[in-house]
Chain A
């Protein structure tokens, strides 16, 4: 129990310290936090509804076929597309990625999905293009794509069998209904 709420307690303690140091900072922090909370409340329910539907309707074999370790290039492309079409901050990608692992997606594809979510999301690229111009955006995008693939393959290589298993068990547990 403490473990789950530990981070809130830490956050509140830090906020208290901030308030002692400078009340304005604590006030700003609360304001920033509540505005991002509001945004999350809009985006989280539909994403979790989609995850629930995916869990119930998509059979393991289908997922394994399209995103599993045998899916090769097509699987990587699907993972890339899914991540790029996403909306929301990176930490929303973690539960979805866990869900994909649970359903039989390969680790490489799951980390391609996370990489794409973090750096080649379409809404993000639109903001980048309008603020930084075509040269910067295109350069970063083209350099980032091999980096995403490199990270995904490194994760696959570095994580041993037990770690992959425990990752799977964890993912399983997170979507369980008791």
Chain B
């Protein structure tokens, strides 16, 4: 659904732009094409690596690390798994709910979701390409450390 919104927005604005100034529209399309080509090689490599990681770390494997009694070490391990994997939200959240039902701890789940969203080890090469090594390292380490704090606070608020 959301994809269609973005698509129609792009097409609508493109039409408007074409109507107002063809030369500018051509230039913008050239830019779009060039910059898309620019990241394509990295993107393909990263998608393949993410596929591999997901094939190895499938939900049953993850659930073994994520039990409520796995303690602080379990929180750390699930945070690391969240950092290296990249699962789209529509799979990740139902999976997290299932893991919770299966006896996973809130803190572990919150750590997993938090690093899953904020930390990207597999996508770091792409981030470095745009922002450089230092900024990438800084953002990801801050996000990782703070995710542990978020996990703790969420587990306190939600209770368990």
Contact = CB atoms under 8 A, between A and B. Distances in A.
Interface of A: 4-12, 14-15, 18, 25-26, 28-34, 36-37, 39-40, 42-53, 55-57, 87, 89-91, 94-95, 97-98, 111, 114-115, 118-119, 121, 123-124, 127-128, 130-132, 135-136, 139-140, 143-144, 147, 150-151, 154-155, 158-159, 163, 166-167, 170-171, 174-178
Interface in B37-67: 38-39, 41-52, 54-56, 58
Contacts of B120: 90-91
Contact of A33 (B28, B51, B123, B127): B51
A50 B6 CA distance: 9
B150 A147 contact: yes
A56 B28 contact: yes
A37 B47 contact: yes
Interface of B: 2-3, 5-7, 9-11, 13-14, 17, 24-25, 27-36, 38-39, 41-52, 54-56, 58, 86, 88-90, 92-94, 96-97, 100, 106, 110, 113-114, 117-118, 120, 123, 125-127, 129-132, 134-135, 138-139, 142-143, 146, 149-150, 153-154, 157-158
B52 A163 contact: no
Contacts of A177: 27, 30-31, 34
Q: Which 9 A-B pairs have the closest CB atoms?
A: A33-B51, A7-B45, A52-B32, A46-B10, A52-B28, A131-B93, A11-B48, A28-B55, A32-B51
A117 B25 CA distance: 27
B139 A155 contact: yes
A111 B89 CA distance: 21
Contacts of B50: 32-33, 36
Contacts of A28: 51, 54-55, 58
A90 B50 CA distance: 13
A120 to B, nearest CB: 9
A50 B139 contact: no
B157 A139 contact: yes
Contacts of A12: 48
